[in-house]
Structure 1
Amino acid sequence: MSTPVPASAPATPEAVVGQVRLVPDGHRDFDTSLEHATRFHRLSRACLEQLVEQGLPHSSDATGLLFDRYDLRNVALLLGVRSPQRATYEAMAAALRAGGAGAAVRRTVVVRAYCPDREHCAGCAFVLDPAVTSAPEVVAVRRPEASRFEVDVLLAAADATPPPTPEQRRLLDEAAGLRFHLLPPGLTADLGFLRETGLADCTLAVRHLVAWAGELGVPARPATGLCLSRPFANRHHWLELRDVEGRWWPADPFFLRTLAGWGLLADGDWPAHRRPVGAYWRVDLDLDVPMLRHRGAGGAAGGSPPERLGPAYFLVQ
């Protein structure tokens, strides 16, 4: 297997700010301090000050400059900074390579639940959606603690990916025209924003490509679940395409092309039409439905979901 391709050259500060500003101001929350931006997002003070001069959206209070967390994540990615966000995608790329090695993949997913309500931190009830425990890849489920689930998952070995049909190739070409951008929740279903800017995260890209597939007459549907990256799994969304025998197979042209563009996957080994078998665990849920729910103290219904889609909840062993 060849090595990953070199990463694309980092964008200039002007280009970074230009892309970030395509997100409307109404979707920003200036809650991240300059100090946190430098410490957590690995962006230097000088870099941030230069970006502010170029027009990076910001606010300020008595402590100094304040930034939007999504803007900072995107800035770090566009500049090629070794940020926590970049590390997440490096781990997902590693999971794809491991899953594509040709052998079945067995993993244990440890789901650790936390109460999202600080008013009570004991006696909470947590529920895994039945779609999680009934997924065909699940071998065993254990619950050693009230807030801890252990799910053994067996993913089938990857096989050869057939070449795309002409119609599927048009779908791949559409995916190639999109630019990756982490979006706040208010934009992840806004197809108008995608058409206007060409920006999408995985959620919005899947919505758009499923709609586009319908126009092309390509059988496609959205899929959601976990990328079994280590040490932490990540909630992810991708496509499924139907073959001539009526079977559904995973496809992720937008994200595979994004990872290759960042130099995290070898483009020759990971063309956009390759099936990401062995890395993605599909769960039969809608894109916006959490896998884990919090029922509140005493198991009361209507509690808020504790799933923050972060590494504290899905540990992969």
Structure 2
Amino acid sequence: MNAGPWLRSLGLLYAVPEPYRDPRLDTAEALAVLRCGPDVLAELVAAGLPRAEGPDGPLFDRHDLINLALNAGTGASAPERALRFALRWMRDGPAAWTAPLAWDFAVEMRAADAAADSRWSHTRFLPELTGGMVETWESSAAVRITPGRFEFAGPGPIRFAGRMRTAGTLQELRSPALRRIVSDFLGAGYRWAKLPKPCQYDTEPILAAGFAPCVTASVHLEKEFRAAGYEAESRGGWILGMLDLSHSWVEVVDDDGLVKQIDPVFERLSRYAGDPHPELGRACLGSRLNRLLPAAIPAGEPEALHVRAGAAAPAAVSTVIRRSDAR
């Protein structure tokens, strides 16, 4: 395989900064992600691909490999194929982005130090913000539902599942001031990158390097909207149908009194869909889309927590949300 696209991509890579790096993928696992062949990977290592030295050879950070693959644009890597498949609905027209959709969801929370006195918390799904609702619910333990969380007790793992519906509404951003802020942000030419959530809160160096992952973009635009005198808050949630579901955007009260969803990163992600509908980019800047599920958390906050002896830490969580009306 030609190493040229890979070496160019390496030159553009925004490497995961310390102390957020987690190099744990070995050479075989890296090749499964990149699908570039061992000779190309050896060239990338020689050219400075970030890595740590493990007992059996180099170890790589998964985020670095995903960003490297997407920027190389070979069309053969695992991240490119996964995104192209998951975002294929972006090729459809506006009616497909707002129609009611039914989804089955299944969530499992676990922790290595779980015990009988463990407590668990998971952010609530809020499909009602887009015109949907949670229709059915079942869990492996008794649940207490608060305005923002599902709460459980017991040794775990904790599992809950059910069915919900999402919908959407096409809207446009009316405020000239808000439109100017969004236009300036898009005009800066930021590129999307997959980075660990905690490091994305350090927005200035990431933006200065020309990148805007979803948490960084959401936190930055929330500040910009508020500085302009508008009520705004970042929102965590999920892109439904993707293998890695978590996502973030901004919600702002427009001059017409309506809450508009601003998601410039989603517009950037659409470029990996292959041939997105030409109206999708505009729809991401004001509309509620049925493929975005809001949660009761700000951008980047962990969706699941494990609490033991009064100390809370993010829980390991597996989230699967699949169409139940497309079989």
Shorter-normalised TM-score: what interval? Answer: 0.7 to 0.9
The answer on 1:314 being equivalent to 2:312 is no
Shift of 1:190: 0.7
Amino acid at match of 2:172: P
SS at match of 1:152: strand
Equivalent of 1:228, from 194, 215, 240? 240
Shift of 1:115: 1.7
User: Equivalent residue for 1:70?
Assistant: 63
Aligned residues: 297
The answer on 1:128 being equivalent to 2:115 is no
- Residues 36-94 of structure 1: per-residue CA shift (max 9 Å, x gap): 11124434212211212322122334422222222111111111244443345335524
**1:133 to 1:189, Cα distance in 2 relative to 1, 3 A:** closer
Equivalent of 1:183, from 189, 195, 208? 195
CA distance in 2, matches of 1:25, 1:303: 23
Equivalent residues of 1:92, 1:227 under 8 A apart: no
User: Equivalent residue for 1:86?
Assistant: 80
CA distance in 2, matches of 1:21, 1:164: 35
Shift of 1:223: 1.5
CA distance in 1, matches of 2:239, 2:106: 14
**1:194 to 1:216, Cα distance in 2 relative to 1, 3 A:** farther
**1:275 to 1:201, Cα distance in 2 relative to 1, 3 A:** same
Equivalent residues of 2:169, 2:289 under 8 A apart: yes
Equivalent of 2:108, from 110, 113, 125? 113
Equivalent of 1:266, from 268, 276, 279? 276
Moved more, 134-143 or 107-116: 134-143
CA distance in 2, matches of 1:153, 1:233: 19
Give the alignment of 1:20-99 within 5 angstroms. 20=13, 23-24=16-17, 26-80=19-73, 81-90=75-84, 92-94=86-88
Amino acid at match of 1:162: E
Equivalent residues of 1:109, 1:153 under 8 A apart: yes
C-alpha RMSD of matched pairs (Å): 3.4
Equivalent of 2:99, from 98, 101, 104? 104
Equivalent of 2:253, from 220, 232, 242? 242
CA distance in 2, matches of 1:47, 1:162: 46
SS at match of 2:79: helix
SS at match of 1:132: coil
Shift of 1:219: 4.9
SS at match of 2:63: helix
Percent same amino acid at aligned positions?
Answer: 22
Shift of 1:226: 1.8
Shift of 1:127: 3.9
CA distance in 1, matches of 2:253, 2:169: 16
**1:302 to 1:264, Cα distance in 2 relative to 1, 3 A:** farther
Moved more, 270-279 or 244-253: 270-279
**1:182 to 1:62, Cα distance in 2 relative to 1, 3 A:** same
Equivalent residues of 1:133, 1:141 under 8 A apart: no
Equivalent residues of 1:93, 1:259 under 8 A apart: yes
Equivalent residues of 2:236, 2:247 under 8 A apart: yes
Per the normalisation by structure 1, the TM-score is 0.77
Equivalent of 2:314, from 299, 305, 310? 305
Equivalent residues of 2:219, 2:234 under 8 A apart: yes
Give the alignment of 1:137-148 within 5 angstroms. 137-146=132-141, 147-148=158-159
- Residues 191-241 of structure 1: per-residue CA shift (max 9 Å, x gap): 2212421212111111112223334555543122122216x5711101223
**1:207 to 1:92, Cα distance in 2 relative to 1, 3 A:** farther
Equivalent of 2:306, from 294, 302, 310? 294
The answer on 1:283 being equivalent to 2:295 is yes
User: Equivalent residue for 1:7?
Assistant: none
Equivalent residues of 2:212, 2:265 under 8 A apart: no
Q: Structure 2 stretches of 5 or more lacking a match?
A: 142-157
Equivalent residues of 1:11, 1:78 under 8 A apart: no
**1:174 to 1:133, Cα distance in 2 relative to 1, 3 A:** closer
Per the normalisation by structure 2, the TM-score is 0.75
Amino acid at match of 1:75: L
Shift of 1:248: 0.6
Equivalent residues of 1:171, 1:213 under 8 A apart: no
Equivalent residues of 2:51, 2:61 under 8 A apart: yes
Equivalent residues of 2:191, 2:210 under 8 A apart: yes
**1:163 to 1:196, Cα distance in 2 relative to 1, 3 A:** closer
Equivalent residues of 2:91, 2:273 under 8 A apart: no
